[in-house]
Amino acid sequence: MSLIVSSQGIILKIFPYSNTSIICNVFTQDRGKLTFIAKGIRKPKNPSLSILQPFNLLEFNYYYKKNRSMHLIKEADILFSFSHLRKDFSTILIGSTILNIINRLFEEEYPQEIIFRLTYKVLNQLSGDKEQSKILFIFFLFHLSKQLGFMPNIDRCNSCNSIFKHDAIFSLRSNSLLCSNCSINNSLDTDFVLTYESLKNCLLINTTHINSIEDIKMSFHNCQELYNFLISFMNSNINNMHKIKGIKEITKIYHEE
Ligand SMILES: [Zn+2]
C-alpha cells in the first residue's frame, strides 16, 4: 500500500524515461535522497515539465512506498528556483558539482537534515562573485566532512596533540594534519604544507555562520591550500571523490589566478 506524502526537495538530476516520463533524483529535507518518477509529463504543452529541472526546490506530493526504488509524483509545485546560479559559469559549475557530490554520496532514504540545510544555504549564497564562491565551496566541503563525521583535527597535531602555532603538514598516509616535528621522520612525496595562515582560515570556516561568510577574506594561496587539503582528505574517505563530475574543472579555478 502506498501513502500520499509530501516533501520539500532539491532536484539533483533528471533522466528521460520511456517516451513521456522523467525520473529524478531529489534531495529531500525529511527523507534524504529519493528517486521520483513523473509519468506522462513529456507530452507537449505539459507545464510541469519546466519545473522538473536540477537546482529547483519543489514541494512534491507523491505516492510513497517503503523500500521502493522509485516513488510516483502526484503533483509538484516550485518553491525556489536558484535562478541566480545560472547567470555565471563558475557558480553553475560549483552549484552543479555540489548536486553531484550529494547524489554520489548518499544512498536512498537516509535523512540528512543538517546537510540539506547546508546545501540549500550554500546554493542560495552562491553569487557571481568568484572569490566568494570559492570560499563558499570550501565552506561546503568542510562542513559536509564534519557532518559526515570524518573531519580531522585542524587545531592540533594528530600525532603529538600539540596545538598548531606554525605551518602544519597534511599527511596522506595518516590522512590527518601533523606538526613539522611529527612529520619529519614520516614524510611522503604526497604530503604538503598547510600554512598557519590557511589553518587559521580553516578555523574561521569552522566557526563562522554561513550568513556572515562575507567576513572571511582569503588570499588566492590560502584558498588553494585549503581546497587541496579538503579534496585530498575527502578523496581518502569517499570513493572516487575526484571523479565526481565537475571536480576537475573546479580544481582549475583554484589553481588559475
Ligand atoms: Zn606533532
User: H helices then E strands: how many in the chain?
Assistant: 7, 8
3-81 homologous superfamily: Nucleic acid-binding proteins (2.40.50.140)
CA distance readout (Å), 176 to 14, 151, 232, 237: 37, 9, 10, 12
Q: Which residue is listed with cell 501513502?
A: 3
CATH superfamily of 84-255: Recombination protein O, C-terminal domain (1.20.1440.120)
Return the pLDDT at 71: 95
**What is the whole-number distance in angstroms between the Cα of residue 165 and the centre of ligand 1?**
11
- What is the layout of strands, in order, in the sheet containing 176-178? 176-178, 168-171, 192-194
Say yes or no to pLDDT of 22 above 90. Answer: yes
Tell me what the mean pLDDT of segment 219-223 comes to. 96
Separation of alpha carbons 4 and 65, rounded Å: 9
Q: Do domains 3-81 and 84-255 have the same CATH topology?
A: no
CA–centroid distance, 49 to ligand 1, in Å, is 56
Cα 180 to middle of ligand 1, angstroms: 7
Distance 183 CA to ligand 1 centre (A): 7
Q: In angstroms, what is the span from residue 147 Cα to ligand 1's centroid?
A: 25
Quote the pLDDT of residue 47.
67
ipTM of the complex as predicted? 0.99
Percent helix, percent strand, percent coil in the chain, to nearest 5:
45, 25, 35
Q: Which helix (H) or strand (E) holds 26?
A: strand 21-28
Q: Rounded to the nearest whole angstrom, what is the distance from the C-alpha of residue 199 to the centroid of ligand 1?
A: 15
Name the residue ranges covered by the structural domains of the chain: 3-81, 84-255
Q: What is d(CA 116, CA 178) in angstroms, rounded to the nearest whole number?
A: 32
What's the pLDDT tens digit per position in 161-197?
999 999 999 998 888 999 999 987 767 777 889 999 9
Distance 190 CA to ligand 1 centre (A): 18
**pLDDT confidence band for 102 (50 / 70 / 90):** very high
Alpha-helical (H) ranges within the chain are 89-105, 113-125, 130-148, 180-183, 196-207, 220-237, 247-255
